A and B are shown apart, each in its own frame.
Chain A
Amino acid sequence: MKTRLMRGLLGVVPPVLFVAAALAGCDARPARIESFPLSPESEQRPPDVRASIAKAMEAYFGTPVSPKVPKNEVVTGERLLAGGDHYRRLCLHCHGLAGDGAGPTAAFLQPRPRDYRLGTFKFTSTAPDVKKPTRSDLMKTLKGGIMYTSMPAFGLLDDETLESLVDYVVFLSMRGQFEKFLNVDYEEDPELFDIDSMAESDKDLVVSRWDETTESVVAPTVKPPEDVGASIARGKDLYLDKKLQCLSCHGETGRGDGAGTDLLKDDWGFKIVPADLTKGIYRGGSRPKDLWLRIYSGVKGTPMPAFNGALTPEQIWDVVNYVRSLAEPSTN
């Protein structure tokens, strides 16, 4: 019995091994994800509400394997499938399948990856009251990364890929914010929650918020002053001005050590600290224009306010010059 068993094994095992090895790779492909996960808020709703939310989400925005987007002026649906594939390979492990900023790597990063679902983006060239960026803002972030954070620069990718990624990020943001609005509607009055009517208007609201970015681009209206030295001096006075309160967060010497600043949080609920201006690290971009925009429109989603009302464009240049003068050469 034993010899026959052994002989049988000898005959059968080797070919089986090789066939098994060969077949192993046949199944190697990206996972077919048939649905996006619901947000934690949606998960908490009663089952019927949850189901209706899921249904509405799928109706307007499709699934990972077949994404779609409502008609709008920022994104068409053509590149979503390709964008989704690039996103899965390059972005998902940080930004998460639904763009919630909670991919597997996210927990270990400081600062955390962006959660697109709030519909707010920090580094924009849009007006102070517009929380969303333009396509070119997103493209700039993709190409140049965000300095000294875990968001890398993808500038070496080709334009087609980058455009499809911009599409997909906007898609995720729209989808995520739509879900948020549905939940807000539900919370306002659970009894009166009628998804059929509310979904359409919520979708329109999201779309309109993105559409308005195309008309809300801001830019410096004046050139920076010629006499940089004088500008810096003026900027310093503005910085220290009690009405403007720059030093209350950024500190007297610009080190980001203003009083009470370790209790600040951003709109996503994470602890945030004011920038240490002596480091010369400008996450939104280090061109003079970028700094001007940060001061003019603020950094959306954070306690950094917009100064478009409090400062004239010339004054903003003065502050920009002062801030740039604070940057010390790095020791690293």
Chain B
Amino acid sequence: MRKIWSLLFLLVPIMGVGMFAMAPSSGWWMPKGASTYAADIDHLFNLILGITGVAFVLTQGALVYFLWRYPDAEGRTATYAHGNHRIEMIWTVIPAAILVFIAFYQFGSWKDIKFRKIFAGEGTSPMFEVVAGQFEWRFTYPGKDGKLGTADDVHSLNEFHAPVGKKVVFDLKSRDVLHSFFIPRFRIKQDAVPGITIPVWFEATEEGDFELVCAELCGWGHYKMRGMAHIVSEAAFNDWLEKTKAAEEVFE
């Protein structure tokens, strides 16, 4: 009867592993990456999943096994042991090494994605500027003069265009409260902070439309701050810029 509890606890590793195992084929997984560093991030995620998965199965397995093997029974005695110095050392040092490894292993990726020195060196000017506000994304591309804030700027609301296969650097701002620029398929996320201009970059690996979500609570309309990234060829991008500018100047 008491062994039944052990079976209940066995459900945990079964569910735990099972759910992650069946998730991808059920459509419950990360949407397919579409940027250069999406692959990096996915790799790191899977690596950690593997390491934690092993730790998970071993510890839950030990728990289940001990519950099965050692219920109170007639004639049984518990082993009077206060601990074991050696095993404490082992199970301190090995996890510590693994954890430190996981940390240091990721420095490179983090720097590549977030350090402005690395992705936007001297002289890089942003391809566009995004101003997040309650509850919309406003994109401004410098026009032919290459400068933002002039009359030939091209404006776009909630949707933006960018060329495929090219590093896109842009400035992120907020005009009221905190927001966060999140394109799941690019694995890109950066908070938009009032008073600060933050450079962000991505390089799309395929053409298409990719949803943009706000990922920092910004008020009642947080859920409807939906945007769209349209990744197109360089030619189509330039074409779009021209057409959009023309539409802005409609006078009839």
Contact = CB atoms under 8 A, between A and B. Distances in A.
Are both chains from one complex? yes
Interface of A: 105, 144-145, 148, 150, 152-153, 155-156, 219-220, 223-224, 286-289, 292, 329-330, 332
A150 B221 CA distance: 9
Contacts of A224: 251
28 contacts: A145-B136, A145-B157, A150-B134, A150-B135, A152-B224, A153-B136, A153-B158, A155-B157, A155-B158, A156-B158, A156-B228, A220-B251, A220-B252, A223-B252, A224-B251, A286-B248, A287-B247, A287-B249, A287-B251, A288-B250, A288-B251, A289-B252, A332-B131, A332-B173, A332-B174, A332-B175, A332-B176, A332-B194
Contacts, number: 51
Interface of B: 131, 133-136, 149, 155, 157-159, 173-176, 194, 220-221, 224, 226-228, 247-252
A153 B175 CA distance: 17
B251 A292 contact: yes
B131 A288 contact: no
A144 B228 CA distance: 14
B157 to A, nearest CB: 5
Contact of B149 (A145, A155, A329): A329
Given A287-B250, A288-B251, A156 B133 contact: no
Contacts of B220: 105
Contact of A148 (B133, B155, B228, B251): B133
B41 to A, nearest CB: 26
A276 B150 CA distance: 19
Nearest to A144: B157
A156 B155 CA distance: 16
B160 to A, nearest CB: 12
Given A156-B228, A223-B251, 9 more contacts: A150-B221, A153-B157, A224-B251, A286-B248, A287-B249, A287-B251, A289-B251, A292-B251, A332-B176
Given A105-B220, A144-B157, A329-B149, A152 B249 contact: no
Contacts of B250: 287-289
A318 B186 CA distance: 46
A152 B159 contact: no
A4 B220 CA distance: 51
